[in-house]
């Protein structure tokens, strides 16, 4: 019988010391990861994402809690008894073996029938589009090609889950973006669960079916890339994923079941979508691309002055200082015309209700 979840992590904690003054690496973490899902653990260095990955692999023993893979509890099993494989930042290919021999090695160690190995190697070479390079050695391959070989070698034993610990971090930016597309294709064609660790927000948004954002050993939010970007539930999540601005102020209720936000130190009220927050002190968050710079003579907007103009190719970024001395960043798409706004120009910022995200102060 097929289980609805590929992996169940239940109330897992990991401590490296008994000292209560030292925070745990993992603090009561629970998550369900589905079959054939590209699931990403995202967060800054030291947040616990790699510790969680290594705990699933069996390289770390959890202090408390349980881990199940395919319905079987595995947290007391050694790594070789778990149907998972791992691709690390360092691909660790055998330099004296060809591409085909590297892929075959794990199958031989697994004890697969010798006559079946060439067919499985050929299948994996086709999956990562490396058939024409089967006889080359790792030193003769590019970084992206080496990563494909590491993927093929890890997938050859047909694990239930593939764990990937920042496997793209050593690649240059252009190759990294190309390999993101390839990695997603391989995952879909292989038809197994991928658990991917990264600190790169754009990479997580591009690749993932769902993302778990971690901080200080805890999972703060789990959701689709759209959920995480558009509806962050914590200030940390909102700040860590993409660029965002925060304005302190007060929330007021309207009779029409809407909300009005009054920024501190400014005589304007901004209409917002309805919120479950209580009236009072809150933070209004908005993405730079969701706001609009308008003529400063227009009423009912946030007024300020341009302090910096940054041209980034497809868009121009404007850092503005509002009349209450709060700095915000705005983004405008470049459509061929040169912006008339320059440093020192007065501007007004329009925030449509759908752009406003209200959060606890």
Burial class (CB in 10 A: 0-12, 13-18, 19+), 214: buried
What global pTM score does this model have?
A: 0.89
The model's confidence at residue 1, banded by pLDDT at 50, 70 and 90, is very low
In this predicted structure, the answer to whether residue 3 has a pLDDT above a threshold of 50 is no
| Pick from 332, 333, 331, 232: nearest CA to 285 | 232
| Pick from 23, 22, 41: nearest CA to 31 | 41
Cα separation of 271 and 292, whole Å?
A: 15
Cα separation of 134 and 324, whole Å?
A: 64
Q: What is the pLDDT of residues 204-238, one digit of tens each?
A: 999 999 999 999 999 999 999 999 999 999 999 99
In this predicted structure, the answer to whether residue 45 has a pLDDT above a threshold of 60 is yes
User: In this structure, what is the dihedral angle of CA atoms 264, 267, 270, 276, given to the nearest 10 degrees?
Assistant: 40
Q: What is the pLDDT of residues 87-105, one digit of tens each?
A: 888 878 899 999 999 999 9
The model's confidence at residue 255, banded by pLDDT at 50, 70 and 90, is low
In this predicted structure, the answer to whether residue 15 has a pLDDT above a threshold of 80 is yes
Which pLDDT does position 51 carry in this prediction?
96
Domains within the chain, CATH numbers bracketed: 5-239 (3.40.50.300), 243-360 (2.40.50.140)
Which pLDDT does position 271 carry in this prediction?
86
Q: What is the pLDDT of residues 259-268, one digit of tens each?
A: 888 899 888 8
To the nearest whole number, what is the mean pLDDT of the chain? 89
């Amino acid at each position: 019988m097929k289980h609805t979840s590929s992996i169940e992590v239940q109330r897992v904690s990991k401590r490296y010391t008994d000292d209560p003054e030292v925070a745990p690496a993992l603090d009561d973490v629970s998550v369900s990861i589905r079959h054939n899902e590209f699931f990403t653990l995202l967060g800054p260095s030291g947040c616990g994402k790699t510790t969680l990955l290594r705990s699933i692999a069996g390289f770390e023993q959890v202090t408390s809690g349980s881990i199940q893979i395919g319905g079987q509890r595995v947290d007391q099993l050694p790594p070789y008894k778990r149907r998972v494989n791992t691709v690390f930042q360092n691909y660790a290919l055998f330099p004296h073996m060809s591409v085909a021999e590297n892929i075959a090695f794990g199958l031989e160690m697994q004890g697969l029938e010798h006559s079946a190995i060439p067919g499985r190697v050929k299948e994996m070479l086709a999956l990562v589009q490396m058939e024409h390079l089967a006889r080359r050695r790792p030193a003769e391959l590019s970084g992206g090609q080496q990563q494909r070989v590491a993927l093929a070698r890890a997938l050859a034993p047909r694990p239930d889950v593939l764990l990937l610990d920042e496997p793209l971090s050593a690649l240059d930016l252009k190759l990294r973006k190309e390999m993101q597309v390839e990695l997603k294709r391989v995952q879909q064609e292989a038809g197994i669960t991928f658990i991917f660790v990264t600190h790169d927000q754009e990479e997580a948004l591009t690749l993932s079916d769902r993302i778990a954002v971690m901080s200080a050993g805890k999972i703060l939010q789990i959701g689709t890339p759209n959920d995480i970007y558009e509806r962050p539930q914590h200030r940390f999540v909102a700040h860590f994923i993409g660029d965002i601005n925060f304005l302190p102020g007060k929330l007021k209720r309207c009779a029409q079941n809407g909300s009005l936000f009054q920024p501190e130190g400014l005589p304007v009220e901004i209409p917002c979508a309805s919120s479950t927050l209580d009236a009072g002190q809150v933070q209004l968050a908005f993405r730079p691309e969701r706001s609009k710079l308008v003529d400063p003579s227009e009423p009912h907007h946030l007024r300020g002055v341009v302090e910096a103009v940054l041209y980034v190719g497809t868009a121009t970024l404007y850092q503005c200082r509002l009349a209450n001395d709060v700095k915000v960043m705005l983004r405008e798409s470049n459509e061929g015309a040169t912006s008339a706004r320059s440093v020192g120009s007065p501007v007004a910022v329009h925030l449509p209700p759908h752009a406003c995200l209200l959060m606890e102060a």
